[in-house]
Chains A and B, each alone.
Chain A
Amino acid sequence: ETGVTQTPRHLVMGMTNKKSLKCEQHLGHNAMYWYKQSAKKPLELMFVYSLEERVENNSVPSRFSPECPNSSHLFLHLHTLQPEDSALYLCASSQGSTSGTDEQFFGPGTRLTVL
């Protein structure tokens, strides 16, 4: 049990659908992250939130829209996706320390397939 949960675990959607991914952390952390993991490629950082404020947006297309209503919850709203967006989407959280290591705790991910 990592303390970070994600729902749904699997999602199949058409290119015209709107869906949302949810992440919840039970660790009392201040920072939350969205990553995209595609086969044979490095994990790609998408967004970083610290104390509910977005502090990093890694040139992600606008069809991905994050939302962080409080420090425990993070959403990724999906709209008009492309087949190449099919991947594993991982959420992570950390204490948000800026000195030394800030170990990130990952959720199990949502396996997204865009048809």
Chain B
Amino acid sequence: GQSLEQPSEVTAVEGAIVQINCTYQTSGFYGLSWYQQHDGGAPTFLSYNALDGLEETGRFSSFLSRSDSYGYLLLQELQMKDSASYFCAGLSGGYNKLIFGAGTRLAVHP
């Protein structure tokens, strides 16, 4: 089957750096996406890795290693507004079918 594993909760302080890991067991994933969801809000797209390596977008970076079936989202200079749930999602075959992990709830404290 296809599944993605990520930690359920992460806690960090303002200004710190946090890494959210995602490991997957599947074949045929074309890439790994990351989405952010605030409480009561809609998931919003953060990044996508089609190739191995690091993708940087402002304070957020995402990494993928296909050989290790592993990726991570790196959040730098954490702010209170970064408190949210973060989902990794594997892009599967067919019409851009996304298989989501259960999400990591990030709590940023002062």
Enumerate chain A interface residues (CB-CB to B < 8 A): 2, 4, 31, 40-45, 48, 50, 55-56, 90, 92, 94, 96-98, 100-109
Are the C-beta atoms of A48 and B45 separated by less than 8 Å?
Answer: no
**A41, A55, A90, A102: the one within 8 Å of B43 (CB):** A90
* Distance to closest chain B CB from A26 (angstroms): 14
Indicate if B75 sits at the interface (CB-CB under 8 A).
no
Are the C-beta atoms of A43 and B100 separated by less than 8 Å?
Answer: yes
The interface stretch among B11-19, B65-73, B89-97 is: B89-97
- Counting chain B CB atoms within 10 Å of each CB, which of A43, A106, A108 scores highest? A43
Q: A40 vs B48: C-alpha distance in the bound complex, in angstroms?
A: 23
* Distance to closest chain B CB from A99 (angstroms): 9
Closest B residue to A53 by CB, please name it: B95
Question: What 4 A-B pairs have minimum CB-CB distances, sorted nearest first?
Answer: A101-B48, A106-B42, A102-B96, A43-B100
Are the C-beta atoms of A55 and B95 separated by less than 8 Å?
Answer: yes
Are the C-beta atoms of B43 and A43 separated by less than 8 Å?
Answer: yes
**B31, B41, B101: the one within 8 Å of A42 (CB):** B101
* Distance to closest chain B CB from A98 (angstroms): 7
Contacting residues, chain B, for A94 (C-beta < 8 A): 96
Are the C-beta atoms of A106 and B97 separated by less than 8 Å?
Answer: no
* Distance to closest chain A CB from B54 (angstroms): 16
Closest A residue to B3 by CB, please name it: A42
Are the C-beta atoms of A100 and B44 separated by less than 8 Å?
Answer: no
Are the C-beta atoms of B44 and A40 separated by less than 8 Å?
Answer: no
Task: Identify 13 new A-B residue pairs, CB closer than 8 A, beyond the known A42-B4, A42-B103, A101-B50.
Answer: A2-B42, A31-B95, A40-B8, A41-B102, A56-B95, A96-B96, A98-B95, A101-B33, A101-B91, A102-B91, A103-B48, A104-B98, A106-B43
Question: Which chain B residues in 71-110 approach chain A with CB under 8 Å?
Answer: 87, 89, 91, 94-103
Q: A96 vs B96: C-alpha distance in the bound complex, in angstroms?
A: 7
* Distance to closest chain B CB from A51 (angstroms): 10
Question: Which chain B residues in 37-51 approach chain A with CB under 8 Å?
Answer: 41-45, 48, 50
Are the C-beta atoms of A55 and B45 separated by less than 8 Å?
Answer: no
- With contacts A42-B4, A101-B33 taken as known, whether A109 is within 8 angstroms of B97 at the C-beta atoms is no
